[in-house]
Amino acid sequence: MHLPIRSNVLQSLTVTTRGAPPRTPDASPQALSPARRVLRDTFGYTEFRPGQPEVIGAVLARRDTLAVMPTGGGKSICYQVPALLFEGGLTVVVSPLLALMKDQVDALGQAGVRAAAVNSTMPREEQAQTMREAIAGGLQLLYVAPERFGDGAFMAALRKARVALLAIDEAHCISQWGHDFRPSYRDLGSVRPRIGNPPIVALTATADPEVRDDIISRLALRDPEVHVAGFDRPNLHFGVVRVKNQEEKAELIAAKLRDLKDESAIVYCGTRKRVEDLTEYLRRQRIRCAGYHAGMEDKDRKSTQDAFARDKARVIVATNAFGMGIDKPDVRMVIHHDMPDSLEAYYQEAGRAGRDGAAAECVLYFAPRDRSLREFFIELQHPEPAIVVDIYRALASAGGQRVHVREVMKSDDERGVNAAIQALAESGLAARSGQMAWALRSDGEDRIDLKGLEAHRQHAYSKLDAMQRYAESLTCLRARILDYFGDVGHGRSCGACGPCLAPPRGAQAVDEAGDELFQDLRAVRKRFAETENLPPYVIFSDATLRDMAARRPRTRAEMLNVSGVGQVKFERYGEAFLAVTKRVAGPPPPSSRQPAPETPLRDRHGRALPETVRRTWELLRAGQDIPAIAAQRGVTTSTIATHIGHLIAHGEIEDVSPWVDPVTLAKVRGAAGGGPVGALGPIKEALGEGITYEQLHIARACINREHAV
């Protein structure tokens, strides 16, 4: 194998300049002509894909680079092409998946590239042989799993090689915010200085802005070039249909599928139960469809997948479990019966439409109450810190005895108990085996990472907020998605999505730049109007929201300068609007993310009440209702309801009639079969729209307290 290129341009790129300062990236055709030649000669492609020229230009200029491209967008080329241009220098590629590594190495070998992988499953001697080759300058690319950097022999060998570039694939695995955090990625930040300070290129398909920031800081990227590219899918047409309730949704979805005739469609639902209900409903409407969720037998899932692939089943109604390995090119429609928990999840699922490049439609059905399902799941995965503390206390008070997990939740909200125990286990305070859990020490309460727990929770809620703003958007949906992902260079209006084709009345009159923010603020206002049953203008007028959109206040004082925002209104609503304007005004000051310090106050049984619950209690006693407290404190109404549940469990509150009338309470009792109330999901399904999760929290605490006494 010979290196295909030798030119003056390349002299400056060789690793003989190791340690030289990074240059200004140059993605011009001249500067990239060697790269283009490699693309053609070695890989056989004539054109770069979107984003590849910019990323390769930056990498060749020895800049730290973060490349964000969708799956299949062509990330590998971004480090493989430079690797072939760094003469005599080695590109080390970190990748989490052994199988993928092997495929890459084989494919590169076929193309005549000198690539190899080392991993712990290989015999020691084979690893040593590969490393000798690397040191001798005989390798261009070396693929490794992140754990390798903890291996002394490997590191010693690597130090002798000339590492020209450190490429980190699936870089989101380093972020705790990511869906795919891997502990083995955690230490990658310290690798660079130990291998001669090469530039780093980090690659990921995850576009969550916080994950992106986290990658940059954890890898300590130096003044990185960030390129987000290739997310636009011009053949997809986005739409949102707003409905009153679940019945209307089902009817409209049936009509939509009927119009689709014999084409393929996927309908995503938020729960298994909804998959089953909708499948049944559609069948009654004579629409042939198959259900799919993770609770089904493997063989049934497999046969459903096959039937879909072979056009035997045209419509699949599924949870998000349906997707891995589905690459049917001609899905013409992806319908969402329930909004996912983030725009990324939405885009990933919707993106299964139109892989063949022909027009396809992505429609989200949205009812005002849909948010509560998502909040329910967030509470499961990211329980309030107060709940984690409570569970720790319950375990600690058992003095290291094994306790059934059901017992630690009996007097309180069990949502999130699994996540809570896991969090305790991760901080070494508790352990779990099957359904039994126990405390490992009894004095560890202040070692619970309250800030971390709260930050994760807030992160989940802010992703949900972005999803909801999409669902409620009156402006271009495509622009919203691409903005969220940080993909630049697209128009403000695609001309092909729901709002672009049928702009809502009045929306056009609004100034373009402030418009999205204005719409976001309207969405917040709408929520308050709904929960408080007030006309929106009573909360803030359009003129006030416009002024807010123009000024983008960051602080309480700035918010009070907005025309129409007085002290009282600020107390009631200010924080919620500020949360929106702050986001566009720039990153929030670090302190605003952190929860209030916990200054426990004893309840009447001598147990400490977390500060956050105590504040809610004070506001309740001052006569405020749930929406007002939630608005004032900038948390969800559901959170306030869990506080009330807490207060009921602690015996502070006995009368629940302000929130739950006796008839509703009796219904919940009935649905729970006369025993303690467990998970709320099934009860909510049984009782339907007539009861809110807030009421359910409170009813459960009330009923379970009777059982606890």
**Is residue 102 a contact residue for ligand ADP (CB under 6 A)?**
no
Q: Which tokens in the block code for residue 520?
A: 């976001």
Nearer to ligand ADP, 110 or 433 (CB): 110
Whole-number minimum distance, CB 333 to Zn ion, in Å? 18
Residues 612-671 that bind ligand ADP (CB under 6 A): none
73 binds, among ligand ADP, Zn ion, none (CB under 5 to 8 A by kind): ligand ADP
Residues 315-344 that bind ligand ADP (CB under 6 A): none
Options 43-51, 372-380, 402-410, 595-603: segment touching ligand ADP (CB under 6 A) = 43-51
Which residue has 């209307």 as its token pair?
248
Which DSSP helix (H) or strand (E) runs through 362? strand 360-366
75 binds, among ligand ADP, Zn ion, none (CB under 5 to 8 A by kind): ligand ADP
Read off the amino acid at residue 532: E
Number of residues that bind ligand ADP (CB under 6 A): 13
Please provide residue 444's backbone torsions phi and psi, each rounded to the nearest 5 degrees.
Answer: -100, 10
**Is residue 45 a contact residue for ligand ADP (CB under 6 A)?**
yes
Options 183-191, 488-496, 539-547, 610-618: segment touching Zn ion (CB under 5 A) = 488-496
Site string (49-88) toward ligand ADP, x via CB under 6 A: x--x----------------x-xxxxxxx-----------
424 binds, among ligand ADP, Zn ion, none (CB under 5 to 8 A by kind): none
494 binds, among ligand ADP, Zn ion, none (CB under 5 to 8 A by kind): Zn ion
**Is residue 376 a contact residue for ligand ADP (CB under 6 A)?**
no
- Quick check: 521 and 566 in contact, CB under 8 A? no
Pairing of β 436-439 and β 430-433: antiparallel
**Is residue 197 a contact residue for ligand ADP (CB under 6 A)?**
no
Whole-number minimum distance, CB 686 to ligand ADP, in Å? 43
Whole-number minimum distance, CB 515 to Zn ion, in Å? 13
Whole-number minimum distance, CB 505 to Zn ion, in Å? 17
What is the SS3 assignment for 643? Answer: helix
Residue whose CB is nearest to ligand ADP in the complex, by number = 74
Sign of CA dihedral 690, 694, 700, 702: negative
Nearer to ligand ADP, 78 or 253 (CB): 78
What is the SS3 assignment for 499? Answer: helix
Which residue has 């309030």 as its token pair?
384
Please provide residue 60's backbone torsions phi and psi, each rounded to the nearest 5 degrees.
Answer: -65, -25
Whole-number minimum distance, CB 111 to ligand ADP, in Å? 10
In the list 497, 609, 619, 641, the residue contacting Zn ion (rule: CB under 5 A) is 497
d(CA 586, CA 599): 31
Options 107-115, 427-435, 499-507, 697-705: segment touching Zn ion (CB under 5 A) = 499-507
Dihedral, CA of residue 531, residue 537, residue 543 and residue 548, to nearest 10: -20
Whole-number minimum distance, CB 500 to Zn ion, in Å? 3
Sign of CA dihedral 313, 319, 322, 328: positive
497 binds, among ligand ADP, Zn ion, none (CB under 5 to 8 A by kind): Zn ion
DSSP states along 563-629: TT--HHHIIIIIHHHHHHHHHHHSSPPGGGGSPPP---EE-TTSPEEPHHHHHHHHHHHTT--HHHH
Options 244-252, 398-406, 475-483, 652-660: segment touching Zn ion (CB under 5 A) = 475-483
CA angle centred on 181, ends 179 and 183, rounded to 5°:
165
45 binds, among ligand ADP, Zn ion, none (CB under 5 to 8 A by kind): ligand ADP
d(CA 367, CA 245): 6
**Is residue 48 a contact residue for ligand ADP (CB under 6 A)?**
yes
Q: Which long-range contacts (CB under 8 A, 24 or more apart) does 531-539 make?
A: 531/627, 531/637, 532/627, 532/628, 539/569, 539/573
In the list 313, 362, 500, 649, the residue contacting Zn ion (rule: CB under 5 A) is 500
In the list 275, 476, 672, 701, the residue contacting Zn ion (rule: CB under 5 A) is 476
DSSP states along 123-161: -HHHHHHHHHHHHTT--SEEEE-GGGGG-HHHHHHHHHS
Whole-number minimum distance, CB 18 to ligand ADP, in Å? 26
Give me the residues that bind Zn ion (CB under 5 A), please.
476, 478, 494, 497, 500
Residue numbers at the binding site for ligand ADP (CB under 6 A): 45, 47-49, 52, 69, 71-77
